[in-house]
Amino acid sequence: MLLTKHRKNQTSKPVGNRFLISITVVGSAGPIRFVVNESEMVDNVIDTSLKSYAREGRLPVLGSNVNDFLLYCPVLGTEALKPWEMIGSFGVRNFMLCKKPKAHNVVVEDDGKPVSVGMTRKSSGSWKAWFNKSLNLKVSSH
């Protein structure tokens, strides 16, 4: 009986291009980095980010519901990425993970139409303001 060795480069299923991404969680100390396949969907990347964040014991505690979060790419604009888009289709490797804002209270006016009172936020500003502020920081020379 002969024993055969399997080589690592002989895989049964084709693997697409893989690359390292960096996801900054708003309010956390540093980015989360992990390798993804370019055909990975955005919602799967959010799920992996939340699991890695929890596994590392980071603060603040975020939770695990993928539907409560949005993934942004600050380079591409201010629109959140769609959950069904492929992460490799953007050509970037740095992303930002934010919690979705929740509607505060719904008030019914005299005419019977519901009106949202406002949005609740735990932080003092949006991720866009934080990002712009971090770009404007100047390091003084000694």
Q: Which two tokens stand for residue 7?
A: 């080589």
Local structure of 120: helix, strand or coil: strand
**Which tops the pLDDT comparison, 33 or 90?**
33
Contacts of 140 (CB under 8 A, 6+ apart): none
| Interval 34-80: pLDDT, tens | 999 999 999 999 999 999 999 999 988 888 899 999 999 988 888 89
Q: How many other C-beta atoms lie within 10 A of the C-beta of residue 109?
A: 8
- The reply to whether omega before 101 is within 30° of 0 (cis) is no
Q: What percent of the chain has pLDDT over 90?
A: 44
Is beta strand 114-116 parallel, antiparallel or unpaired with respect to 69-72? unpaired
**Which tops the pLDDT comparison, 41 or 119?**
41
Greatest CA separation for the chain: 86
Q: In what order do the strands lie in the sheet with 18-25?
A: 32-37, 18-25, 94-99, 69-72
Q: What is the mean pLDDT of residues 71-90?
A: 91
Task: State how far the Cα of 49 lies from the Cα of 26, in Å rounded to an integer.
Answer: 13
Q: What percent of the chain has pLDDT over 70?
A: 61
Q: What pLDDT sits at residue 112?
A: 60
Residue 102's pLDDT band, with cuts at 50, 70 and 90, is confident
Residue 16's pLDDT band, with cuts at 50, 70 and 90, is confident
β-bridge mates for residue 86, sequence order: 41
Quote the pTM value. Answer: 0.64
Q: What pLDDT sits at residue 121?
A: 46
**Domains of the chain and CATH, by start:** 18-101 (3.10.20.90)
Burial of 15 per CB tally in 10 Å (0-12, 13-18, 19+) = exposed
